[in-house]
Amino acid sequence: MKSYLAAAIQMTSLPDLRHNLAQAEELIDLAVRRGAELVSLPENFSFLGNEEAKVQQAVEIAAQSEKFLKTVAQRYQVTILGGGFPVPAPEGKFYNTALLVSPNGEELARYEKVHLFDVDLPDGNIYSESDMVVAGTQVAPVYHSADLGNLGLSVCYDVRFPELYRTLSQSGAEVLFIPAAFTAFTGKDHWQVLIQARAIENTSYVIAPAQTGKHNSRRQSHGHAMVVDPWGVVMADAGTEPGMAIAPIEPLRLRQVRRQMPSLKHRVFF
């Protein structure tokens, strides 16, 4: 594992596939110009704001999202995580899928979100992701990279389930991806503390790209894409506007924290 810059992209995606992909490429281009070698896009980066339209267009969204990730990764010679897009599943539903792609445009790892966001929030908004999404059944993967470290995949609501990240750390994860479209209501209280908790308890870097702002009249995201170090220090925070959080991933820092706080070696229950 070498030292490198990682970027967590922040977007305001809309129910407009082409607009979103253009916005994503513009931000990827900027991240690469700033020196990023690992770029991550948020959940729903290619389409957000109209669930019925997403279902109707799922085949096209899936095809165009995957093509986009492989094309821009190769074009900019950078490793890219597409943090979540719909891939058709049985019975007219889809999987919420994260895809990690190499600078050669090759698929490195794929993860279908296992925890679905079915909640009734105090602000009056009801979310029922399982109405249209099928939960994945495979353990979240860790991609082992000699240059970038061991990269563990997850998506958004997964952040509330620490056992998933324990599984990733047991598989050697050193950098955890948590791409999200966190709601404005839950984000203000829970987003940062959960991201920091996952970093601290696993002594791992966390790269958390995010959605921000209004996607339609009812859906609003919290923002604050961030990169957090293994001690839980927020190294970069994108605030509430589209843009990015960009920060160095340092193997020496990782080893230092794991030496000083060897909690992963002290686990009793597995």
pLDDT tens digit at each of 270 positions of the chain: 999 999 999 999 999 999 999 999 999 999 999 999 999 999 999 999 888 888 889 999 999 999 999 999 999 999 999 999 999 998 889 999 999 999 999 999 999 999 999 999 888 788 999 999 999 999 999 999 999 999 999 999 999 999 999 999 999 999 999 999 999 999 999 999 999 999 999 999 999 999 999 998 888 999 999 999 999 999 999 999 999 999 999 999 999 999 999 999 999 987
Tokens representing 20 are: 């979103």
> How many domains does the chain fold into?
1
Question: Interior CA angle at 224 toward 220 and 229, to 5°?
Answer: 150
Q: Which of 51, 70, 112, 156 is catalytic?
A: 156
Q: What is the pLDDT of residue 111?
A: 98
Residue pair 166/202 in contact by the 8 Å Cβ criterion: yes
Tokens 């979240």 identify what position? 140
Q: pTM of the predicted model, to two decimals?
A: 0.97
DSSP 185-197: HHHHHHHHHHHHH
- Please give the residue range of the domain that contains residue 35: 4-266
Q: Which of 37, 43, 51, 112 is catalytic?
A: 43
Residue 259, domain CATH? 3.60.110.10
Residue 129 is a catalytic residue: no
Q: Determine the Cα–Cα distance for residues 7 and 32; give it in Å rounded to an integer.
A: 9
Q: What is the pLDDT of residue 22?
A: 98
Maximum Cα–Cα distance across the chain? 52
Q: Which of 37, 51, 113, 174 is catalytic?
A: 113
CA distances from 84 to 42, 62, 109, 153, 255 (A): 7, 10, 13, 11, 30
Residue 66 is a catalytic residue: no
Q: What is the pLDDT of residue 270?
A: 76
Q: What is the pLDDT of residue 52?
A: 84
What is the number of other CB atoms lying within 10 angstroms of the CB of residue 139? 12
Q: What is the pLDDT of residue 172?
A: 97
Total residues belonging to the chain:
270
Q: Determine the Cα–Cα distance for residues 91 and 157; give it in Å rounded to an integer.
A: 23
Q: What is the pLDDT of residue 124?
A: 77
What is the number of other CB atoms lying within 10 angstroms of the CB of residue 131? 11
Residue 91 is a catalytic residue: no
Q: Determine the Cα–Cα distance for residues 239 and 250; give it in Å rounded to an integer.
A: 23
DSSP 49: S
